[in-house]
Amino acid sequence: MSVLYLVRHGQASFGTDDYDRLSDLGKEQSRITGSFLASQGIEPDRLVHGEMLRQRQTAEDLLEGMGRSIEAHVDAGWNEYAAWELTGVLSDLDPRAQHDSKVFQGELERGAARWASGEHDEDYTETFTQFTTRVDRALEDAVAAMGSGQSTIVVSSAGAIAWTAARLIGGGFDQWMAFNRVTINTGITKIITGRSGTSLISFNDHGHQDPKDATYR
């Protein structure tokens, strides 16, 4: 069997002028995650991340924590959906959402339900169906690139990882949202693939992080 480890990026910079970069804590979370993976004897044959800065930075710090240097492959299929676009089209968006992460989460879920309904596709640069289709394709490509017994680390974001997990257990929007809501920064999701297919083994494992440093943005 081959193993795929999906790692959510470290804490980004919510509430600042540029969310798409790691905070100091996010960088440390990423290094700790790399050190943990190395301590488990995990030596990836391949590293993949999306195009987003926070994903690339996480991959770099993760490798630093592992004490390894391997070429990273970029796959835009692992990019996150445009969260601010989902909330931005809400005519009655709570203004506190820009700086209050709890308020933002509620507004995001309301926006996501509107997005996934398929009734307002013209309002979005990427529809929900297009998002799930590209994430499905990214998973298939990551699996296809592995030889027997190999392992790959993919650094992505909550939405893409949550959709992958939901898909593998036969879930849809509701399961995706439930997973998306609880995905922790640098949480590790483990997937195995072999003759019997591709299966979800664990989701959002974050025991390697100090509980006081657990973050969701």
SS3 116: helix
Band the pLDDT of 59: cuts 50, 70, 90: very high
Enter the pTM of the model.
Answer: 0.93
For 76-123, how does the pLDDT look when each residue is reduced to its tens digit (9 = 90+)?
A: 999 999 988 999 899 888 889 878 878 988 999 999 999 999 999 999
For 177-217, how does the pLDDT look when each residue is reduced to its tens digit (9 = 90+)?
A: 999 999 999 999 999 999 889 999 999 999 999 999 999 87
Query: Tell me, what's the pLDDT at 17?
Result: 63
Residue range 2-81+126-213 forms a domain whose CATH class is alpha beta
Query: Tell me, what's the pLDDT at 12?
Result: 93
What percentage of the chain exceeds 90 in pLDDT? 86
180 vs 55: CA distance, rounded Å: 17
Cα torsion angle, 183, 188, 193, 199, sign: negative
Q: Average per-residue pLDDT in the chain?
A: 94
Is the pLDDT confidence value at 18 over 90?
A: no
